[in-house]
């Protein structure tokens, strides 16, 4: 008996999902548990598995299509079986189409990457009949003519003739390139970054912090821990601990703002920005202020492993209250991080840098790092932001507290 394969719910994530890639084709024979397709929502990627064995009789979504949870993506059954009652209703015309997944489609998914000269659809270029005929007879693109002449007006025959007479066609290099459709994680990132940029009032505050004592203590602790054959907490782990402790004194920054409501959390859950091949993910370390440094380190390594393997769950990604991003390992000093909406604050960590100072008449080498704090100025003013950075630096300059 034929069955419908539907768009799943990924953990606690709600909303539409995107079908990123088909792993099977229409007509393929599959076994129960086989991975049919990869879907993604809010940066969470998962495979949709066959709930039964049989043949894929219909594929109902193409790669890149977005559909709600529960939408039919395919139908599996026996060859020749009547599946008319299982097929979704016919879709509306393209101009009024409500969403993907309203009609089954056949054939292989459409490729997302193409090549070509970059010509624009000729139908959107306004031109007289003479101009169109002249361009067609000479194998000329009207979009190239319009671009070279720098006009958006209706092209006339003399415009095309000028293009030909002045050798403009030959002067225009044909560039080779590929076009990649924005889908999956990259599309989610683009949408969320655009939303954050347009819907918040960001203000960035920057300062340096002397971490000489912290570096000295960490170097000592690292040697002791590694001598036992164990893994030592990274510099980023130490900063995460300090960030979480500082938020205890400045809860306003541990908030979200959404639908006109400010939520200030007693739980301090730190999102860690991690770069992977597919883009950027921000898994969460929950209750970071209450964890030992070794526990933060273990959790961070676990999340990094999942991120690189593409196995982060909805629970791993949800519930964050403050975000930390670190590009210091690439020798970035300061940056202007974009808010991770609906959170109201994000902290960027810069590189560790040696510098020289005079102490008791002698030149001494010390070490500093840099912090860039972006605030949503609708919710947090500059002064409390500066107070937070002051508290953070105080904690870092008393490093023994971080190892307790």
pLDDT in tens, 97-126: 334 444 454 433 323 222 333 344 455 677
Q: How far apart are CA 217 and CA 224, in angstroms?
A: 11
Task: Determine the pLDDT at residue 93.
Answer: 34
345 and 376 Cβ atoms separated by less than 8 Å: yes
Kindly list the distances between the CA atom of residue 197 and the CA atoms of 190, 192, 336, 348, in Å, as whole numbers in the listed order.
11, 9, 12, 17
7 and 69 Cβ atoms separated by less than 8 Å: yes
Band of pLDDT at residue 362, cut at 50, 70 and 90: very high
Q: How far apart are CA 300 and CA 165, in angstroms?
A: 65
What average pLDDT does the structure give for the chain?
85
pLDDT surpasses 70 at 214 = yes
Task: Determine the pLDDT at residue 168.
Answer: 63
pLDDT in tens, 114-165: 233 334 445 567 788 788 888 888 888 888 888 777 777 788 888 888 888 8
Share of the chain above pLDDT 90, in %: 54
Q: Which of 86-90, 93-97, 178-182, 273-277 has the lowest mean pLDDT?
A: 93-97
Mean pLDDT value across residues 262-277? 95
Task: Determine the pLDDT at residue 173.
Answer: 56
Mean pLDDT value across residues 357-370? 94
**In terms of pLDDT, which residue wins out, 84 or 285?**
285
Mean pLDDT value across residues 253-271? 96
Mean pLDDT value across residues 335-353? 95
pLDDT in tens, 292-318: 999 999 999 999 999 998 889 889 999
Band of pLDDT at residue 266, cut at 50, 70 and 90: very high
pLDDT in tens, 10-66: 765 666 788 888 999 999 999 999 999 988 876 677 889 998 999 999 999 888 888
Task: Determine the pLDDT at residue 154.
Answer: 80
Q: Which of 186-190, 206-210, 236-240 has the lowest mean pLDDT?
A: 186-190
pTM for the whole structure: 0.64
**In terms of pLDDT, which residue wins out, 83 or 165?**
83
What domains lie within the chain, and their CATH numbers?
3-109 (2.40.50.100), 117-171 (no CATH), 200-403 (3.30.559.10)
pLDDT surpasses 80 at 226 = yes
Band of pLDDT at residue 85, cut at 50, 70 and 90: confident
């Amino acid at each position: 008996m034929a069955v419908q394969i539907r768009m799943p719910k990924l953990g606690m994530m709600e909303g539409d999902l995107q079908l990123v890639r088909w792993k099977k084709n229409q007509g393929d024979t599959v076994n129960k548990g086989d991975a049919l397709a990869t879907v993604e929502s809010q940066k969470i990627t998962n495979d949709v598995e066959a709930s039964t064995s049989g043949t894929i009789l219909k594929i109902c979504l193409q790669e890149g299509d977005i559909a709600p949870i529960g939408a039919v993506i395919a139908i599996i059954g026996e060859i020749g079986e009547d599946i008319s009652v299982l097929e979704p209703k016919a879709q509306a015309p393209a101009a009024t189409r409500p969403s993907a997944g309203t009609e089954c489609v056949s054939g292989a998914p459409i490729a997302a990457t193409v090549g070509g000269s970059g010509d624009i659809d000729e139908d959107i270029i306004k031109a007289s009949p003479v101009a169109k005929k002249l361009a067609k007879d000479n194998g000329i693109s009207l979009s190239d003519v319009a671009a070279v002449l720098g006009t958006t007006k209706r092209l006339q025959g003399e415009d095309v003739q000028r293009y030909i007479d002045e050798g403009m066609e030959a002067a225009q290099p044909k560039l080779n390139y590929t076009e990649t459709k924005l889908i999956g994680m990259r599309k989610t990132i683009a949408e969320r970054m655009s939303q954050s940029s347009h819907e918040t009032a960001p203000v960035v505050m920057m300062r340096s912090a002397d971490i000489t004592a912290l570096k000295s203590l960490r170097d000592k602790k690292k040697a002791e821990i590694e001598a036992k054959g164990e893994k030592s907490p990274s510099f980023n782990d130490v900063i995460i601990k300090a960030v979480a402790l500082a938020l205890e004194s400045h809860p306003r920054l541990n908030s979200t703002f959404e639908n006109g409501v400010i939520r200030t959390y007693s739980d301090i859950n730190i999102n860690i920005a991690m770069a992977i091949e597919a883009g950027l993910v921000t898994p969460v370390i929950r209750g970071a202020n209450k964890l030992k440094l070794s526990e933060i380190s273990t959790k961070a390594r676990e999340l990094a492993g999942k991120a690189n393997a593409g196995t982060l769950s909805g629970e791993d990604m949800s519930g964050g209250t403050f975000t930390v991003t670190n590009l210091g390992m690439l020798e970035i000093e300061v940056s202007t991080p974009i808010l991770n909406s609906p959170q109201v604050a994000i902290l960027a960590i810069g590189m560790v840098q040696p510098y020289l100072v005079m102490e008791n008449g002698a030149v001494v080498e010390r070490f500093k790092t840099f912090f860039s704090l972006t605030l949503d100025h609708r919710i947090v003013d500059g002064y409390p932001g500066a107070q937070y950075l002051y508290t953070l630096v105080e904690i870092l300059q008393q490093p023994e507290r971080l190892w307790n």
